[in-house]
């Protein structure tokens, strides 16, 4: 071969390589509909749009990015497709709010424009760096779709809106080294500053099926060096997306902590989003800042069976410390369970859940979550119910509010647990399967009891949210199952372009770690047209469901409390409110 032949062969190899990249698609983590990515939406269908959740006027959204409180404004950035209702063309869309309820949309903060991010501007975080202001760390993809970490700074840090962002030319700040796969290196966390003069951030990855959170260190927030060991990793968990790492106080159960807090009475939380299952889990544990290692507590399952922020439709979550109110706040993405055809017809896909405060539970074994107090400003019509017995097979309607857009808090008094069914230990890590087996229409002893949301009066369509109490003969403690069951949520007959049988209608469930010693258990549900967020036992177990009723919509939706257990249950108190829409109305009126 002559020199020119060698060059030709090399060029061919390069071309083959490039085209391979293009064909394979970028990632294992989103189904890619190339033809639909840039099909702009003509009209938006309001039927299932939410009334008080965060949604842009149209098109696809996914991960929340870089939440921060800065100069009087809460900022939310999020992965957004400005050109279509499926994933693609992702930019960092940007909105600001004074109260986390009413939002104002600004221009996208970052979008592909430089050699290091022309292939994508993916998820990341914001760190407020003294002397510099807020700095974005994000995953940038070059033309070859190699994932790298880059940074962006505000053009004018004194602008509380942070409207314009600059991506300096010394980017990227981290590229995959020879041990890493350039398609599995993403989602830098908010960085924290340590006494040793270093900033630290985590980046998610995987190696030989072992999920990994790498740790990077920097003195100047520009030059970053990977630490020798990952901060943590776990075999057979696959790619760790969107790691989140923060301290919680072991003595103050009412306030959150900022990332750089150092003190003896703390634990750390490491949350990861598992690309393989599309669920998240977290552990509580100890972070050794000298060795830069995190070790989960022995009783904190590290893997598929781990604790979850939310046992339902919830992913790519991210917390931030709100120093205005000394609290840690969680954002998370709830994707559609609808079909892609329906998403296109709706003209939109995805929403952010109502932000939640995150605290360590007084048991010190898990976290608790609660909707931010600001959301209560949307409460309007109010009804209540007190001391009402519900016998087996009974249901009571909650009237006087808008059931499709409501906030409901109920406390049940269950009394004796004598009639509770015996718990089968093979379901210990399978609440989902147990809920599927024992739905709301399967008679029990103590429970099922709870709420019937988004229902038609004949229960042709309904989304039940309920508890079922078992006796665990091995621990002699009650085992409490909580379900949010989407199976009966939608009529089975074909509706619209795609049969609803094919829809994803999971019986989401989790156990609630309560001993019921005072005989009480509470449930709060935020109901908003196509999303129901449920908080069991003051936020010990949280489950979000997406549902798409055909008949139980808007003013035709009904709300009930019910009991299908042989043991009579008392509704000790029920408080329910209609919810107003924030200034940026989403659902086009109820």
Ligand X SMILES: *[C@@H]1O[C@H](CO)[C@@H](O)[C@H](O)[C@H]1NC(C)=O
CA distance linking residue 378 with residue 432, whole number of Å: 32
Question: Which window, 98-106, 136-144, 223-231, 246-254, contacts ligand X (CB under 6 A)?
Answer: 136-144
Tell me: cis bond preceding 448? Omega within 30 of 0 counts.
yes
Of residues 154 and 211, the one with the C-beta less far from ligand X: 211
Does the protein bind ligand X through residue 530 (CB under 6 A)? no
Does the protein bind ligand X through residue 181 (CB under 6 A)? yes
Of residues 218 and 507, the one with the C-beta less far from ligand X: 507
Of residues 337 and 484, the one with the C-beta less far from ligand X: 337
Query: Kindly report the CA angle at 284 between 281 and 289, in degrees rounded to 5?
Result: 120
Question: Which window, 165-173, 354-362, 364-372, 438-446, contacts ligand X (CB under 6 A)?
Answer: 438-446
Does the protein bind ligand X through residue 32 (CB under 6 A)? no
Does the protein bind ligand X through residue 183 (CB under 6 A)? yes
Map the footprint of ligand X across residues 42-101, applying CB under 6 A: none
User: Least distance in Å: CB of 315 to ligand X?
Assistant: 3
What is the C-alpha R_g of the chain? 24
Question: Which window, 48-56, 292-300, 302-310, 433-441, contacts ligand X (CB under 6 A)?
Answer: 433-441
181-195 in b/e form (b: 16+ CB < 10 A) is ebbbbbbbbbbbbee
Contact present, 173 and 201 (Cβ < 8 Å): no
Binds ligand X by CB under 6 A, chosen from 56, 134, 204, 464: 464
Binds ligand X by CB under 6 A, chosen from 7, 10, 11, 14: 14
Q: What are phi and psi of 419, to 5 degrees?
A: -80, 0
Does the protein bind ligand X through residue 459 (CB under 6 A)? yes
* Tokens (6 digits) for 208: 């030989």
19-30 in b/e form (b: 16+ CB < 10 A) is eebeeeebbebb
* Interface map 139-158 toward ligand X (x if CB under 6 A): ---xxx--------------
Q: Cα dist. 15→493, 519, 588 in Å? A: 49, 69, 50
Active-site option among 27, 63, 275, 587: 63
Of residues 247 and 488, the one with the C-beta less far from ligand X: 488
Map the footprint of ligand X across residues 539-568, applying CB under 6 A: 562, 564
Q: What are phi and psi of 254, to 5 degrees?
A: -115, -15
Does the protein bind ligand X through residue 113 (CB under 6 A)? no
Contact present, 183 and 159 (Cβ < 8 Å): no
Q: Cα dist. 48→43, 127, 487 in Å? A: 14, 35, 17
CA distance linking residue 265 with residue 519, whole number of Å: 32
Contact present, 482 and 534 (Cβ < 8 Å): yes
CA distance linking residue 151 with residue 173, whole number of Å: 7
Of residues 192 and 560, the one with the C-beta less far from ligand X: 560
Q: Cα dist. 60→108, 118, 294, 419 in Å? A: 14, 20, 35, 48
User: Least distance in Å: CB of 203 to ligand X?
Assistant: 15
CA distance linking residue 272 with residue 544, whole number of Å: 18
How many CB atoms neighbour CB 80 within 10 A? Answer: 22
Does the protein bind ligand X through residue 300 (CB under 6 A)? no
User: Least distance in Å: CB of 269 to ligand X?
Assistant: 20
Of residues 81 and 97, the one with the C-beta less far from ligand X: 81
CA distance linking residue 71 with residue 88, whole number of Å: 32
CA distance linking residue 552 with residue 490, whole number of Å: 9
CA distance linking residue 543 with residue 347, whole number of Å: 26
User: Least distance in Å: CB of 261 to ligand X?
Assistant: 31
Map the footprint of ligand X across residues 225-284, applying CB under 6 A: 278
Does the protein bind ligand X through residue 453 (CB under 6 A)? no
Of residues 50 and 266, the one with the C-beta less far from ligand X: 50
Map the footprint of ligand X across residues 471-490, applying CB under 6 A: 487-488
Of residues 368 and 465, the one with the C-beta less far from ligand X: 465
Of residues 322 and 343, the one with the C-beta less far from ligand X: 343
* Tokens (6 digits) for 286: 């100890």
Q: Is 485 a residue of the active site?
A: no
Question: Which window, 167-175, 434-442, 494-502, 565-573, contacts ligand X (CB under 6 A)?
Answer: 434-442
Is the alpha carbon torsion for 553, 558, 560, 566 positive or negative?
A: negative
Q: Could you report how far apart the first and last alpha carbons of the chain are, in Å? A: 74
Binds ligand X by CB under 6 A, chosen from 184, 244, 310, 528: 184
Of residues 306 and 464, the one with the C-beta less far from ligand X: 464
Does the protein bind ligand X through residue 440 (CB under 6 A)? yes
CA distance linking residue 468 with residue 462, whole number of Å: 18
CA distance linking residue 487 with residue 464, whole number of Å: 9
Map the footprint of ligand X across residues 309-348, applying CB under 6 A: 315, 335, 337
Does the protein bind ligand X through residue 439 (CB under 6 A)? yes
Does the protein bind ligand X through residue 287 (CB under 6 A)? no
CA distance linking residue 549 with residue 503, whole number of Å: 12
Q: Cα dist. 21→18, 25, 26, 132 in Å? A: 5, 6, 7, 37
Question: Which window, 133-141, 181-189, 381-389, 526-534, contacts ligand X (CB under 6 A)?
Answer: 181-189
User: Least distance in Å: CB of 282 to ligand X?
Assistant: 16
User: Least distance in Å: CB of 226 to ligand X?
Assistant: 18
The site that binds ligand X (CB under 6 A) totals a number of residues, namely: 24
Binds ligand X by CB under 6 A, chosen from 100, 452, 526, 553: 452
CA distance linking residue 433 with residue 132, whole number of Å: 50
Question: Which window, 47-55, 180-188, 296-304, 416-424, contacts ligand X (CB under 6 A)?
Answer: 180-188
Of residues 287 and 333, the one with the C-beta less far from ligand X: 333
Catalytic residue list: 63
Binding site for ligand X (CB under 6 A): 14, 17, 28, 142-144, 181, 183-184, 278, 315, 335, 337, 439-441, 452, 459, 464, 487-488, 504, 562, 564
């Amino acid at each position: 071969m002559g020199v020119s032949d060698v060059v030709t062969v090399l060029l061919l190899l390069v071309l083959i390589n490039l085209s391979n990249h293009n064909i394979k698609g970028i990632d294992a983590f989103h189904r890619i509909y190339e033809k639909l990515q840039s099909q702009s939406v003509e009209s938006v269908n309001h039927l299932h749009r939410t009334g008080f959740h965060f949604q842009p006027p149209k098109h696809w959204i996914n991960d929340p990015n870089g939440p921060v409180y800065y100069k009087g404004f809460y900022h939310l950035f999020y992965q957004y497709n400005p050109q279509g209702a499926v994933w693609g063309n992702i930019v960092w869309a940007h909105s600001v709010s004074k109260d986390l309820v009413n939002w104002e949309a600004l221009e996208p903060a970052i979008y592909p424009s430089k050699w290091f991010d022309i292939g994508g501007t993916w998820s990341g975080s914001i760190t407020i760096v003294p002397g510099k202001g807020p700095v974005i760390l994000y995953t940038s993809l070059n033309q070859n779709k190699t994932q790298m970490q880059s940074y962006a700074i505000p053009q004018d840090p004194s602008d509380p809106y942070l409207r314009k962002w600059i991506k300096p030319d010394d980017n990227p700040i981290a590229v995959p080294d020879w041990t890493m796969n350039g398609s599995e290196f993403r989602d830098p966390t908010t960085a924290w500053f340590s006494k040793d003069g270093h900033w630290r951030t985590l980046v998610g990855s995987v190696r030989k099926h072992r999920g990994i959170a790498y740790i990077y260190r920097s003195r100047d927030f520009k030059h970053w060096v990977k630490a020798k060991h990952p901060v943590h990793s776990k075999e057979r968990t696959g790619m760790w997306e969107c790691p989140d790492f923060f301290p919680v106080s072991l003595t103050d159960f009412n306030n959150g902590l900022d990332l750089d807090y150092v003190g003896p009475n703390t634990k750390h939380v490491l949350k990861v989003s598992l690309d393989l299952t599309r669920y998240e889990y977290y552990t509580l544990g100890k972070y050794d800042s000298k060795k830069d290692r995190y070790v989960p507590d022995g009783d904190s399952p590290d893997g598929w069976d781990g604790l979850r922020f939310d046992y339902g439709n919830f992913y790519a979550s991210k917390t931030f410390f709100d120093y205005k109110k000394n609290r840690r706040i969680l954002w998370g993405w709830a994707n559609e369970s609808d079909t892609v055809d329906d998403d296109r017809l709706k003209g939109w896909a995805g929403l952010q859940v109502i932000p939640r405060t995150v605290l360590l539970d007084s048991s010190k074994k898990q976290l608790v979550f609660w909707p931010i107090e600001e959301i209560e400003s949307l409460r309007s019509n109010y009804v209540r119910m007190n001391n009402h017995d519900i016998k087996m097979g009974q249901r009571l309607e909650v009237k006087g509010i808008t059931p499709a857009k409501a906030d409901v808090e109920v406390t049940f008094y269950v009394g004796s647990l004598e009639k509770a069914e015996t718990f089968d230990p093979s379901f210990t890590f399978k609440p989902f399967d147990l809920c599927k087996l024992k739905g709301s229409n399967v008679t029990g002893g103590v429970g099922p009891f709870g709420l019937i949301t988004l229902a038609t009066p004949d229960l042709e369509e309904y989304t039940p949210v309920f508890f079922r109490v078992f006796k665990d003969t091995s621990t002699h403690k009650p085992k409490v199952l909580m379900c949010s069951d989407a199976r009966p949520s939608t009529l089975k007959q074909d509706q619209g372009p795609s049969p609803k049988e094919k829809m994803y209608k999971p019986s989401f469930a989790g156990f609630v770690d309560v001993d019921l010693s005072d005989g009480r258990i509470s449930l709060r549900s935020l109901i908003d047209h196509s999303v129901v967020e449920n908080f069991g036992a003051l936020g010990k177990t949280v489950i979000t469901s997406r549902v798409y009723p055909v008949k139980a919509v808007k003013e035709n939706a009904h709300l009930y409390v019910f009991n299908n257990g042989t043991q009579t249950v008392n509704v000790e108190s029920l408080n329910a409110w209609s919810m107003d829409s924030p200034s940026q109305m989403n659902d086009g009126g109820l």
